Amino acid sequence: MTELAELPAAPGAARTQGRPRSSRAHEAILEAVLDLLEEGVTVEALSMEAIAARAGVGKATIYRRWAGKDELLLETLIKLKGPPTQPLGDSVRADLIRLLSVVGQKDERAVRVMPCLMPEVSRSPEAYRIWQEAITEPRREVMREVLRRGVATGELRADLDLEVTVTMLISPLLLHRMVRWNPRLDEVDDLPEQIVDVVLRGVTA
């Protein structure tokens, strides 16, 4: 997915001449961002200058790959989140609970980065596209697949709207982990179960 964020090297050109881009530099930059986040640097306090310095890289080397801080952070987030969790193929209920349980729980840094990308994602169509393709859509698809299985077995209603259902399942968790939208949910320790149960009962055949 890395190349999603890459700037086109030359619109319709060969891109084979000259010294090739150093993958060493590429990795070093992403590592530098992760390191700095690890050390507790606020996302908004992350400066391109600090990243370049930490990575031992010239600033131009960063701008050659990403159009700005947001694009770089976006790719960092993608790297941070990795591929979506896979269902185990147990019951539909168990799989959904499993999928919801890991929302925003794998890496603390991802939870810090995500809200900071909301401004960019809501403004730039390009950032939105990358975010969708690399982060949200793959996770929705995994969950859709589980739901489709439920429909196939007759466990779930045949006229179920997959998109609505998926969104209803994930949104509460996402909003809670990302910005703690409803602080009273802090005390609910089986939130994924509760959500899955309500939705399943609502969409059972």
Query: What is the binding site for DNA (CB under 7 A)?
Result: 9-10, 13, 16-22, 24-26, 28, 45-50, 52-53, 55-61, 63-65, 68-69
All residues at 6 or more sequence positions from 175 whose CB lies less than 8 Å from its CB, including other chains = 181
Nearer to DNA, 44 or 189 (CB): 44
- Selection from 66, 75, 29 nearest residue 50 by Cα: 29
- Selection from 108, 70, 96, 76 nearest residue 196 by Cα: 96
Nearer to DNA, 55 or 121 (CB): 55
* 3-class DSSP assignment, residue 31: helix
Cα–Cα distance for residue pair 48/80, rounded to 1 Å: 19
Stretch that binds its own copies, among 8-16, 82-90, 128-136, 147-155 (CB under 8 A): 128-136
Residue 9 CB, shortest distance to DNA, in Å, is 5
Contacting its own copies within 140-159 (CB under 8 A): 140
The encoded tokens of residue 183 equal 């602080």
Cα–Cα distance for residue pair 43/109, rounded to 1 Å: 10
Nearer to its own copies, 89 or 183 (CB): 183
The encoded tokens of residue 53 equal 């310095």
Residue 98 CB, shortest distance to DNA, in Å, is 38
Q: Which does 109 bind (CB under 5 to 8 A by kind): DNA, its own copies, none?
A: none
- Selection from 133, 132, 136, 78 nearest residue 107 by Cα: 78
Residue 52 CB, shortest distance to DNA, in Å, is 7
Residue 194 CB, shortest distance to its own copies, in Å, is 5
Nearer to DNA, 29 or 134 (CB): 29
